[in-house]
């Protein structure tokens, strides 16, 4: 018996023993072919279409596979025919099923050919296609009738197989072939009865496939371009309160602004795609309000981390906006959160740039709180002074060596490459400045635009003019100079002081450098940090005020004297755990100096004086001698040219004499000094405020009382407005997040060594809604009588340079700039930066190309609604083709998986991951751009390459490792842990082995903060017991880094989708 010659049962087993092969044999003799199935799939048809060519007539009757509600709606008819409503509902249901089935069909050339052949059969009348609406069809009946002169009447095959690839080949099925003519005629009779009660869907099916699936061959490149914009920005159109939630409650005096609603929409998309977002509108645009609106849209528990001075304001704002389920903690009290357990879904970090250094305790705690949560970083200046500022903040929500940011799969390598490139441009100021701008631009263009919402004032004016119909932005005038001069003896004392400061070794603050046994690199660097910072403190205080400098020198002398006495008694106590980097932004160094001097602290280690090198006591004595010499010189200086000039300007300058003034200083002691002198002149109209509280009318005030007084006098939104204060002296504790725009004048009493702080200070008055049309900025500059032969500008620059050169390479503790050799360039550039008003605004920091596309999409929606509706309804896998300038044909494909959206492009030699702004250039075109039909075989070949690239990126095992060269702390720990896993004779429990393996994974992905790695290395290198090493890992709590899905790009249950593709014809 030949294969399939007389089989009764067909089960799809054993290779060719399947229904498809049986059909191919039967159809060769078939004249009429009738199909009754619950499910019809083109995947079944395209496998048979060649065999079906010889058949005279094909009829296919399908069920609707409807739910009970739909069935009752369209099937409740007792008449022989179908009423109009029933017929319409049938066709609509079949339309939905057709679209869904075509969307899910295989992406292959054969599939498309098969579907087109099916349409050809329908349009020629060879095939009729009808749907039965009255009940779900579960039958699967295939009736073949032969020619009249054939061997018999025909065949009936019935059983479990639907007309699909699975039913014909893949699934294990059970079907029976009936050969008796009576059986065939009975089946045909039943089929004819159902056929008579069915709905003809031929025309509707053809129209649906041709127009509403990816087989639509009329979609233009311009429509594809608009579809890209719609999929990316559609949620940003026509935003109003309804988009923020049906029960949105807004404060009574809050004005809805479209740019703020658009920010919320953008932030939600970024959060969904990347687990974190920077809210970085420039100062004065209401980031706290935007955060509150965003928080209303976020389910689950929320934590706000903010500066202590702003905690009450955040609580009040969230209360006014009706945001529930939120806890608030200040930057300095993160321990409260970690001790209680981290139970939040979202973390909002205000002034997030304060956590730009991952070597600090604060960053380490914040990282533990944020990891695995959705993170909102609120900062107008996330890129503060160096590119690593951004890298550290990104690590709060991105896996460094497995990034989901398009085009940058490994953040660690990306930033390493930028640092190396930048290091090559240190020869001249111009070269370095140019390279730095290019680096910042690269970070903004390739990275930040994916994870940041940032709009400048210029963008608000251009894209949201309706928000400015009753309010405008103030104009910043050219910065004004306030100039004081070192004369005669004062200049001599200053010059001698700068010389002596360079001679001091700061030995008291770096005792472990003097150990006879060389300390570890970690300890050495920690000591150098302290020494460099102490030198920077003296330089800052010297420039700030003679008073502050004198107080600081006195404190240093006292510290040295105590330390020398301790050394002479035979034991030196050195504080442990003091991280200088945690105090770089502090307005009061007293706390740090007290920690360094405190020998009763718990983190203290005792050293015998005999283990220090012989030069240590010599250097201590020499340093003390130099400090006392400096003190002696300044004790004889009775004049203060800076204060005298300042008071003179306050009285005589037209702006300063009448306006409310904000006077900023980095030194609390300078603030006290200014208050004491100004209070004598302006009495109750002047106040001083620092992190410790306020001073008003010669009385100390608590932080809360002082803030209330400041708000009443400087915040225009305060309901209890007063006018008692005209002059507010403050440290930088008020330079962030506060509304002080009843004033329109900022005075920088000290040189702002970090120019970013100036923009933050000016941001207190440069706010939307201010009543002032003009803003004023004054900077105080020193000059020298001895340099009067120079022009004023060069005189100022030389004096700035004199301060700065005292520090040399330690200038990073002054400016936070770590570029090698950068200190040499600083003196010349600071003056120019402070004199350019553009640096107080945001001219060079625009990201807003997205607003251009949103506006285009909004214009289409408003002016061409029919086109917009068409764009909305374009099917998944939509495609078009156009000419482009490449050397070979290519394909760009837009994929989506959950919240992840990606563009991949290929020319056949590989695939490349594109950012939106890179990808949109492939799609951007004019309305009249002609469509070129894709070459199908080439299209599917290229599509498979892009699909494989996307599949690889989203696979659970996908990982991009860093370079890991050398013997870094991280590599040392990795080698130790891997050795413990494989060490012979070590009997680890399963739980202990799990902890080690999880820690290895966390380290390999680069998610462990540097400070944690430093501590871990110190502990592990001293330990040989594997069980103790596990205990160290448990105490360091690395395993929490793996208890979330950040190490997997997307959930495994999410479905990948092809949104659309554009075929690119070369040579265009």
What per-residue confidence (pLDDT) applies to 926?
Answer: 95
Q: Supply the angle between the helices 221-233 and 916-923 in degrees, to the nearest 10.
A: 160
Confidence of residue 682 (pLDDT cuts 50, 70, 90): very high
- Least confident range of 97-111, 134-148, 824-838, 923-937: 824-838
pLDDT the model gives residue 810? 61
Residue 77 or 545, more confident: 545
Across the chain, what does the average pLDDT equal? Answer: 82
Query: Bridge partners of 788?
Result: none
Average pLDDT of 159-164?
A: 74
Instruction: Express each pLDDT in 190-232 by its tens digit.
Output: 999 999 988 888 888 888 888 999 999 999 999 999 999 999 8
The residue among 326 and 48 whose pLDDT is bigger is 326
Which residues does 541 contact at the CB level (< 8 Å), separation at least 6? 548, 549, 551, 552, 667, 669, 670
CA distance 334 to 353: 16
Quickly count: other Cβ atoms within 10 Å of residue 324's Cβ.
10
**Does the pLDDT at position 962 exceed 80?**
no
**What is the pLDDT averaged over residues 796-809?**
72
Mean pLDDT, residues 138-151: 83
The predicted-structure confidence for 1024-1043, as pLDDT tens digits, reads as follows 888 888 888 887 766 566 55
pTM for the structure as a whole: 0.74
Mean pLDDT of 174-201: 89
Higher pLDDT, 538 or 43: 538
pLDDT at 171 over 80: no
Question: In which band, very low, low, confident or very high, does the pLDDT at 1044 lie, cut at 50, 70 and 90?
Answer: low
CB 755 within 8 A of CB 652: no
Highest mean pLDDT of the ranges 151-160, 510-519, 816-825: 510-519
Average pLDDT in the 632-653 region? 94
With a pLDDT cut of 90, the percent of the chain lying above it is: 35
Query: pLDDT higher for 536 or 1044?
Result: 536
Q: Measured between alpha carbons, how far is 373 from 388 in angstroms, rounded to an integer?
A: 22
pLDDT attached to residue 816: 47
**Cβ within 8 Å of residue 699, ≥6 positions away:** none
9-212 adopts what CATH topology?
Endonuclease; Chain A (3.30.870)
Tens digits of residue pLDDT in 993-1002: 888 888 888 8
The dihedral through the CA atoms of 579, 584, 586, 587 has a sign that is positive
The β-bridge partners of 144 are 33, 155
Tell me the three state secondary structure of residue 852.
Answer: helix
- So what's the architecture of 249-468 in CATH? 3-Layer(aba) Sandwich (3.40)
Q: What is the C-alpha separation between 554 and 455, in angstroms, rounded?
A: 47
Instruction: Say which residue, 718 or 737, is predicted with more confidence.
Output: 718
User: Domain limits of the chain?
Assistant: 9-212, 221-234+847-958+1055-1065, 249-468, 475-481+659-840, 487-635, 969-1042
The pLDDT value recorded for residue 789 is: 61
* pLDDT (tens digit per residue) in 226-282: 999 999 887 777 655 455 544 456 777 777 888 888 899 889 989 988 999 999 888
User: What pLDDT, on a 0 to 100 scale, did the predictor assign at position 863?
Assistant: 94
Per-residue pLDDT at 590 exceeds 70: no
Contact 80, 197 (CB under 8 A): yes
pLDDT at 67 over 50: no
Nearest to 358 by CA among 346, 366, 369: 366
Q: Tell me, yes or no, if the two domains 9-212 and 475-481+659-840 fold the same way.
A: no
Report pLDDT for 201: 82
Domain 475-481+659-840 in this protein, CATH class = alpha beta
Whole-number pLDDT of residue 972: 87
**What's the confidence (pLDDT) of residue 828?**
60
pLDDT of residue 229: 94
712: Cα separation from own chain's centroid: 36
Q: What pLDDT shows up at residue 928?
A: 95
pLDDT of residue 52: 82
* 3-state SS, residue 22: helix
Extended beta strands in 186-235, E state: 199-200
């Amino acid at each position: 018996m030949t294969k399939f010659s007389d089989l009764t049962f067909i089960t799809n087993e054993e290779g060719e023993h399947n229904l498809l092969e049986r059909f191919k044999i039967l159809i060769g003799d078939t004249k009429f072919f009738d199909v009754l199935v619950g499910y019809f799939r083109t995947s079944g048809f395209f496998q048979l279409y060649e065999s079906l060519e010889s058949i005279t007539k094909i009829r296919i009757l399908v069920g609707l596979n409807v739910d009970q509600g739909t069935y009752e709606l369209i099937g409740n008819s007792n008449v022989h025919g179908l009423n109009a409503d029933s017929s319409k509902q049938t066709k609509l249901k079949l339309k939905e099923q057709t679209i869904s089935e075509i969307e899910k069909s295989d992406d292959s050339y054969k599939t498309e050919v098969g579907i087109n052949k099916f349409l050809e059969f329908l349009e020629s009348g060879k095939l009729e296609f009808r749907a039965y609406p009255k009940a779900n069809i579960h039958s699967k009946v295939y009736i073949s009738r032969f020619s009249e002169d054939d061997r018999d009447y025909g065949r009936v095959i019935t059983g479990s197989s639907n007309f699909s690839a699975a039913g014909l080949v893949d699934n294990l099925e059970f079907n029976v072939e009936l050969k008796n003519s009576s059986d065939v005629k009975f089946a045909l009779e039943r089929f004819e009865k159902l056929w008579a009660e069915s709905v003809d869907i031929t025309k509707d099916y053809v129209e649906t496939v041709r127009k509403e699936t990816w087989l639509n061959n009329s979609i233009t490149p311009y429509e594809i371009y608009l579809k890209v914009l719609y999929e990316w920005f559609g949620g940003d159109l026509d935003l109003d309160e309804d988009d923020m939630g049906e029960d949105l409650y807004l404060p009574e005096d809050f004005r809805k602004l479209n740019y703020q609603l658009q920010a919320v929409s953008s932030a939600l998309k970024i959060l969904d795609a990347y687990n974190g977002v920077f809210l970085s509108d420039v100062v004065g645009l209401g980031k706290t309000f935007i955060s509150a609106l965003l928080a209303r849209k976020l389910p689950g528990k929320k934590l706000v981390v903010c500066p202590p001075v702003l905690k009450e304001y955040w609580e009040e704002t969230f209360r006014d906006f009706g945001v529930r389920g939120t806890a608030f903690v200040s930057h300095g009290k993160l321990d409260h959160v970690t001790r209680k357990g981290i139970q939040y879904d979202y973390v909002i970090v205000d002034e997030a740039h304060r956590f730009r250094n991952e070597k600090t305790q604060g960053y380490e705690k914040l990282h533990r709180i944020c990891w695995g949560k959705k993170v909102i970083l609120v900062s107008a200046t996330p890129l503060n002074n160096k590119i690593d500022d951004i890298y550290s903040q990104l690590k709060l929500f991105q896996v460094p060596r497995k990034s989901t940011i398009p085009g940058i799969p490994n953040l660690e390598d990306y930033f390493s490459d930028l640092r190396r490139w930048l290091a090559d441009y240190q020869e001249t100021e111009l070269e370095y400045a140019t390279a730095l701008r290019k680096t910042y631009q690269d970070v903004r263009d390739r990275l930040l635009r994916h994870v940041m919402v940032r709009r400048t004032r210029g963008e608000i004016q251009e894209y949201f003019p309706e928000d400015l119909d009753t309010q405008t932005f103030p104009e910043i005038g050219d910065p004004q100079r306030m100039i004081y001069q070192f004369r005669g003896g004062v200049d001599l004392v200053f010059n001698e002081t700068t010389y002596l400061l360079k001679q001091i070794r700061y030995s008291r603050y770096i005792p472990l450098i003097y150990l006879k046994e060389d300390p570890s690199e970690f300890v050495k660097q920690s000591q150098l940090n302290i020494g460099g910072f102490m030198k920077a403190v003296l330089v800052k205080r010297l420039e700030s005020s003679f008073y502050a400098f004198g107080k600081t020198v006195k404190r240093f002398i006292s510290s040295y004297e105590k330390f020398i006495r301790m050394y002479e008694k035979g034991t030196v106590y050195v504080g442990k755990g003091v991280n200088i980097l945690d105090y770089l932004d502090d307005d009061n160094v007293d706390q740090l100096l007290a920690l360094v001097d405190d020998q009763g602290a718990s983190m203290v280690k005792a050293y015998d004086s005999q283990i220090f090198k012989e030069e240590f006591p010599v250097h201590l004595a020499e340093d003390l001698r130099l400090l006392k010499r400096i003190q002696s010189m300044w004790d004889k200086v009775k004049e203060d040219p800076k204060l005298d000039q300042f008071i003179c300007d306050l009285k005589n300058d037209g702006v300063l004499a009448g306006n409310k003034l904000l006077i900023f200083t980095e030194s609390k002691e300078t603030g006290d000094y200014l208050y004491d002198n100004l209070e004598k002149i302006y009495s109750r109209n002047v106040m001083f405020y620092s992190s410790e509280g306020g001073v008003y009318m010669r009385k100390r005030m608590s932080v809360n009382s002082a803030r209330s007084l400041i708000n009443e006098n400087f915040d225009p939104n305060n309901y209890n407005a007063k006018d008692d204060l005209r002059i507010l002296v403050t440290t930088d504790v008020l330079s962030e997040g506060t509304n002080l725009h009843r004033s329109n004048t900022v005075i920088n009493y000290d040189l702002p060594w970090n120019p970013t702080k100036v923009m933050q200070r000016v941001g207190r008055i440069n706010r939307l809604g201010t009543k002032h049309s003009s803003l004023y900025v004054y900077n105080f500059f020193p000059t020298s009588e001895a340099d009067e032969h120079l022009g004023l500008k060069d005189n100022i620059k030389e004096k700035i340079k004199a301060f700065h050169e005292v520090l040399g390479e330690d200038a990073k503790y002054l400016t936070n700039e770590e570029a090698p050799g950068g200190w040499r360039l600083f003196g010349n550039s600071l003056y120019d930066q402070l004199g350019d008003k553009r640096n107080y605004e945001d001219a060079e920091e625009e990201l807003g190309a997205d607003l251009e596309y949103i506006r285009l999409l909004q214009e289409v929606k408003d002016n061409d609604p029919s086109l917009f509706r068409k764009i909305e309804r374009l099917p998944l896998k939509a495609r078009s083709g156009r000419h482009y300038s490449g050397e070979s044909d290519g394909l760009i494909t837009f994929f989506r998986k959950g919240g992840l959206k990606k563009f991949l492009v290929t020319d056949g030699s590989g695939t490349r991951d594109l950012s939106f702004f890179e990808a949109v250039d492939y799609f951007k075109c004019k309305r009249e751009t002609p469509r070129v039909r894709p070459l199908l075989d080439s299209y599917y070949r290229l599509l498979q390459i892009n699909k494989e690239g996307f599949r690889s990126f989203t696979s659970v095992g996908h990982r991009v490792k860093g370079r890991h060269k050398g013997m870094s702390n991280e590599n040392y720990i990795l080698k130790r842990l891997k050795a413990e896993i494989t060490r012979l004779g070590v009997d680890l429990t399963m739980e202990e082995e799990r902890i080690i393996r999880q820690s290895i994974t966390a380290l390999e992905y680069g998610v462990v903060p540097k400070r944690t790695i430093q501590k871990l290395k110190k502990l592990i290198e001293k330990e040989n017991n594997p069980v103790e090493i596990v205990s160290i890992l448990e105490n360091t709590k690395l395993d929490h880094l793996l208890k979330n899905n950040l190490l997997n790009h997307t959930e495994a249950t999410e479905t990948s989708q092809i949104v659309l593709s554009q075929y690119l014809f070369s040579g265009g």
